[in-house]
Amino acid sequence: MELRTISSNGIRMRIAEQGSGPLVLLLHGFPESWYSWRHQLPALAAAGFHVVAPDQRGYGGSDAPPAIEEYDIFHLVDDAVGVLDALGEKRAVVVGHDWGAPVAWHCALLRPERFRAVAALSVPYVGRAPAPPTQLFRMMAGDRFFYILYFQQPGVAERELESDVRSTMRRFLYAASGDVTEPADFWQKPKEATFLEGLPEPKTLPGWLTGADLDYFTAEFSRTGFRGGLNWYRNFDRNWELTPQLDGAKVTQPALFIAGERDGVLAMVPVDAMRDLVPDLRRLLLIPGCGHWTQQERPAEVNAALLEFLKGLEGSA
């Protein structure tokens, strides 16, 4: 595997790259990096694919523009297209997890000539919301804390999450995983609470998360802070305002969806909506006992599903 920096869409992006063959682009979520795909890069490369996992805009070794509006969905999709351009590739299969999943879905919607298939982990495609998303989030949350609303005010979440990065990453990764043993009511807290308030401290790290893994994430976010990733959340309403043309749009490319049965996202987003909106959904895989960090928690199952999907695409190139 090679780490290098490329130019994409006017910014510098660090990519992890391995293998040769048809291109597969892996897009991470929050708070993660290319490293979240550490188990997929060698497995897909060994199967005959050119696999590339960038640090997305605002993360890791990639640039983090200061303006919030530079993290809207068009910038993020154009970043992905720019990676293809920098590699001299016309088309790719795009795979996204967490925030990377909406980017992957929008790559398929907005640039279908560049992305021939899409696989999403954790976040299903449910189409355009009927109203600005933060309005819906407030209705859903009522008098309870909701993390996306907490993330909206610049500086607030940054101060909390950056006060002890190692503790933040350890508690967050554990709390959203399928290995958490404490009752899930730590997400059901008063509106005035903070993000980390009530998140349990694991007695030991889950088996899928080593000390070295935690060291890597801690070092990255200690250096960059969390502002870049949080700015993605601050574009929910802007993304909605910018995409009225996507009302009723369907993802017509071959698609795969994978999630953990214990992923909290599934309690908020109806998976069944994909049946109509993604007519070529070839498989919907829910992994028992798995939480939110799908490809890290269950790499064997995820790799097998991805390879089955990739090898089933016509012509594979």
pLDDT in tens, 248-265: 999 999 999 999 999 999
Domain presence at residue 68: yes
Region 6-16 average pLDDT: 98
| Band of residue 273 on the pLDDT scale cut at 50, 70, 90 | confident
Cα torsion 288, 292, 296, 302: sign: positive
Domain presence at residue 317: no
Total domains, the chain? 1
Quote the CA–CA distance of 301 and 295 in Å, as a whole number: 8
| Band of residue 315 on the pLDDT scale cut at 50, 70, 90 | low
DSSP string, the chain: -EEEEEEETTEEEEEEEE--SSEEEEE--TT--GGGGTTHHHHHHHTT-EEEEEPPTTSTTS---S-GGGGSHHHHHHHHHHHHHHHT-S-EEEEEETTHHHHHHHHHHH-TTTEEEEEEES-------SS-HHHHHHHHHTTB--HHHHTSSTTHHHHHHHSSHHHHHHHHHHHTSTT--S-GGGGS-BTT--SSTTPPPPSS--TT--HHHHHHHHHHHHHH-SHHHHHHHTTHHHHHHH-GGGTT----S-EEEEEETT-THHHHS-GGGHHHH-TTEEEEEEETT--S-HHHH-HHHHHHHHHHHHHHSTT--
Task: Quickly count: other Cβ atoms within 10 Å of residue 245's Cβ.
Answer: 10
pLDDT at residue 245, rounded to an integer: 97
Region 104-118 average pLDDT: 98
Active site residues: 98, 292
pLDDT at residue 270, rounded to an integer: 84
| Band of residue 18 on the pLDDT scale cut at 50, 70, 90 | very high
Torsion, CA 5, CA 86, CA 251, CA 69, rounded to 10:
60
Quote the CA–CA distance of 124 and 72 in Å, as a whole number: 19
Which helix (H) or strand (E) is 304 found in, with range? Answer: helix 299-312
pLDDT at residue 61, rounded to an integer: 98
Q: Does 58 have pLDDT greater than 80?
A: yes
Domain presence at residue 305: yes
Give the pair of three-digit tokens for residue 289.
């006992």
Domain presence at residue 212: yes
Single pTM value for the model: 0.97
Q: Does 311 have pLDDT greater than 60?
A: yes
Quote the CA–CA distance of 245 and 222 in Å, as a whole number: 39
Q: What percent of the residues of the chain are helix, what percent strand, and what percent coil, each to the nearest 5?
A: 45, 15, 40
Domain presence at residue 105: yes
Domain presence at residue 110: yes
Percentage of residues of the chain with pLDDT beyond 90: 94
CATH of the domain at 215: 3.40.50.1820
Q: Does 299 have pLDDT greater than 80?
A: yes
pLDDT at residue 215, rounded to an integer: 98
3-state class (DSSP) for residue 185? helix
Query: Mean pLDDT lowest for which of 20-29, 117-126, 175-184?
Result: 175-184
Domain presence at residue 286: yes
In whole numbers, what is the pLDDT of the chain averaged over residues?
A: 96
Strands 2-8 vs 11-18: parallel, antiparallel or unpaired:
antiparallel
CA 109 to chain centre: 17
Residue 94: strand pairing partners: 25, 118
Domain presence at residue 57: yes
Residue 118: strand pairing partners: 94, 255
Quote the CA–CA distance of 29 and 220 in Å, as a whole number: 14
pLDDT in tens, 132-146: 999 999 999 999 999
Q: Does 78 have pLDDT greater than 60?
A: yes
| Band of residue 65 on the pLDDT scale cut at 50, 70, 90 | very high
Residue 27: strand pairing partners: 96
3-state class (DSSP) for residue 275? helix
Contact 118/255 with Cβ under 8 angstroms? Answer: yes
The residue range of the domain holding 51 is 2-312
pLDDT at residue 152, rounded to an integer: 98
Quote the CA–CA distance of 140 and 137 in Å, as a whole number: 5
pLDDT at residue 118, rounded to an integer: 98
Percentage of residues of the chain with pLDDT beyond 70: 99
Region 65-92 average pLDDT: 98
DSSP tag of 263: -
3-state class (DSSP) for residue 121? strand
